[in-house]
Structure 1
Amino acid sequence: MTTTTSRELAIETRGLRKAYGGKAVLGGVDLAVPQGSVYALLGPNGAGKTTVVKILSTLTSADGGEIRVGGHDLAAEPQAVRGAIGVTGQFSAVDGLITGEENMLLMADLHHLPKQEGRRAAAALLERFGLAEAAKKPAATYSGGMKRRLDIAMTLVGGPRIIFLDEPTTGLDPRSRHTMWGVIRELVSGGVTVFLTTQYLEEADELADRIAVLNDGRIAAEGSAEELKRLIPGGHVRLRFSDPDAYRAAATALREVSRDDEALALQIPSDGTQRELRSILDWLDSTGVEADELTVHTPDLDDVFFALTGGTDKTEETVR
């Protein structure tokens, strides 16, 4: 797996496999996650997302495949991998019976930081995540968004360069979700790599540099959000007219378009790229068509998700 690009990858897998009770959960997963990026793994419940995270974070073993995390071979150097990563799971690691500050200091102790260094790290992270004022309060009194921020702050105590966030905003209200997105962007701007699993397609669209869609234990597609959207047919340019005569003349001139006579609108197939849009505009100018309104419609990640997964939804592995 040692290639030129491998040095620039935070995570790389080839042929990752895992089965439980004879049933394949992962059937050969290839991943290439660039350093300092947000990489989102999407998939229906039961597709194997949590299994991927648990393998990459050394919480469970793979049945086969090659894996490198943080430049280390996971099979040969699991301890080195653990030193390079942080993990925030679906379920909070926050202890509600103690204060936010005490949760942070507990993590510092687990990382064997000297007492003074641990206190400095805890104070700095609590301030960074907007939790300094609540630091002395029991974590049980925190809101859901505050607990999630504390959870991530605890993950950062050891200074990991790669963070696994397994559905970090599940159950949060919209305001808390947007706050969490800001936290994730800040981490990446500081050079941290974020490997994100999420059930919110909007979240992946908003945050991720690259997205992989996992279905039935395999990667169904991978690319940027815009690249994935272009895989799905249905994009078009819509022309709307207020003058019925102009509408009819345009429909006659353009010919290969879809008509909506009631709305006085025409649809021209388009993949939404700048080059194709420019071509369509030149074509309209050459035919003398002048619409009152022009809008570009492209498939969204919902369309991509359902097209690639068939809308399947299974029981997620909760103990794996």
Structure 2
Amino acid sequence: MRTSAIAVTGLRKSFGEQVVLDGIDLDVAEGTVFSLLGPNGAGKTTVVKILSTLISADGGQARVAGHDVAAEPDSVRAAIGLTGQFSAVDGLLTGEENLRLMADLRHLSRPEGRRRTAELLEQFDLLDAAGKYVVTYSGGMRRRLDLAMTLVGNPRVIFLDEPTTGLDPRSRRTMWQMIRRLVADGVTILLTTQYLDEADQLADRIAVLDRGGIVAQGTPAELKRRIPGGHIRLQFADVTELDRSASVFGMATRDDDALTLQVPSDGDVQSLRSVLDRLDQNLIHIAGLTVHTPDLDDVFFALTGHTTEKEAAK
């Protein structure tokens, strides 16, 4: 059993009359990526600000890296890193100077600060740009530098609040690779994102936050299986095989023009094996097979009643 890097019970927060968090519970295992999803204004950034000690909660308990957020804020800050929605880099300094400044703020000795700066410049592929002013950096380079600055103090827990917003697809995937490397080294990451494919790619577990509460938690696969509409699509070479298959799978939907049969399925291995076994037992030959499952966009809409930014932009 992995220990909890983040443990939240009954977390509450209001701003005036507006209740933002209405008693949420979270449990994030060490060395994993936990993604917090929700529509704009759902409270994702508020959760991050409370857990990173930037604001206080109105109620509930939260522990990060084994420390109580309310009672031990200094210990929490020493154990965490935070990358917000916008790059917290100084454009009038070079990349190297930004990192050295962070090393000074982390109270590293001069030799240790220089060593850590050199390591991070190499790790984040910024050596060639180390002496250039950050104002000349691309958006992807700024985000890489921002994450590198977060790592100066070797944090055990990192909060990434929409870290790839505004990045081009290549820069996003570069950030994904860096996040995966951090987790492989044992770092715990709490990720908020509006890109559901990002959560699908990176997260070990996901919580969907809406109207102040957690409406669902689980792995990406578990959440997708909660949504109806998954099926196995069988393709046939002729109508005879289609007829035989339709008689075996009574609840299936057939398409005579396309010579296909859609068999309801949640998309897991056991369901697929069951379909294949029944085909073998009845000596039915298929020309092809594809598995279709709901994606996280479907999950998000079904659970919150909101479209994602990606869907709204279409």
Number of matched residues?
309
Partner of 2:129: 134
Does residue 1:122 correspond to 2:117, yes or no?
Answer: yes
| Match of residue 99 from structure 2 | 104
TM-score norm. by structure 2 comes to 0.95
Please point out which of 215, 220, 243 is paired with 1:225: 220
Q: Match for residue 306 of structure 1? A: 301
Contact 1:46–1:313 (CA<8 Å) still a contact in 2? no
Q: 1:177 aligns with which of 172, 197, 201?
A: 172
Secondary structure, in 3 states, of the residue corresponding to 1:280? helix
Q: Are the equivalent residues in 1 in contact too, given 2:297–2:308 (CA < 8 A)?
A: no
Contact 2:251 2:264 in 1 (8 A): no
User: Matched residues in 2 for 1:187 and 1:149: separation?
Assistant: 13
| Match in the other structure for 1:15 | 10
Deviation of 1:244 after TM superposition, in Å, equals 2.0
**Contact 1:148 1:168 (8 Å CA) reproduced:** yes
Contact 1:237 1:269 in 2 (8 A): yes
Q: What's 1:40 paired with?
A: 35
Q: Distance in 2 between matches of 1:253 and 1:224?
A: 33
One-letter amino acid matched to 2:130: A
Deviation at 1:286, TM superposition (A): 2.4
Is the counterpart of residue 275 in structure 1 residue 276 in structure 2? no
Q: Which has the higher contact order (CA 8 A, sep 6+)?
A: 1
CA distance in structure 2 between the partners assigned to 1:310 and 1:23 by the alignment: 20
2:152 to 157, 163, 173: 157
Q: TM-score, normalised by structure 1?
A: 0.93
CA distance in 1, matches of 2:72, 2:128: 40
1:93 and 2:82 equivalent? no
CA distance in 1, matches of 2:283, 2:271: 18
CA distance in 2, matches of 1:114, 1:254: 70
Q: Secondary structure at the match of 1:272?
A: coil
SS across alignment from 2:82: strand
User: In the alignment, residue 298 of structure 2 is paired with which amino acid?
Assistant: D
Q: How many angstroms does 1:245 deviate by? A: 2.5
**Counterpart in the other structure of 2:312:** none
Residue 62 of structure 1 aligns to a residue whose secondary structure is coil
- List aligned pairs for 1:202-217, cutoff 5 A: 202-217=197-212
What's 2:143 paired with?
Answer: 148
Q: Is the 8 A contact 1:45 1:313 kept in 2?
A: no
Residues 269 and 306 (structure 1 numbering): CA distance in 2 closer, same or farther, change over 3 Å? same
Between the aligned partners of 1:300 and 1:96, the Cα distance in structure 2 is 39
> How well do the aligned residues superpose, as a CA RMSD in angstroms?
1.4
2:259 to 255, 264, 267: 264
Contact 2:300/2:307 (CA < 8 Å) preserved in 1? no
Identity %: 66
1:62 shift after superposition: 0.4
SS at match of 1:305: helix
Q: Which moved more, 1:221-230 or 1:240-249?
A: 240-249
Query: Structure 2 matches for 1:50-89, cutoff 5 A?
Result: 50-89=45-84
Quick one: which amino acid aligns to residue 57 of structure 2? Answer: A
Q: What's the secondary structure of 2:129's corresponding residue?
A: coil
Q: Which moved more, 1:282-291 or 1:228-237?
A: 282-291
Q: For residue 194 of structure 1, what is the aligned residue in structure 2?
A: 189
**CA displacement at 1:313 relative to structure 2:** 7.3
Partner of 1:240: 235
Q: Which runs of 5+ in 1 are unaligned?
A: 315-320
Distance 1:25 1:105 in 2: 37
Give the whole-Å Cα distance in 2 for the aligned partners of 1:10 and 1:37.
9
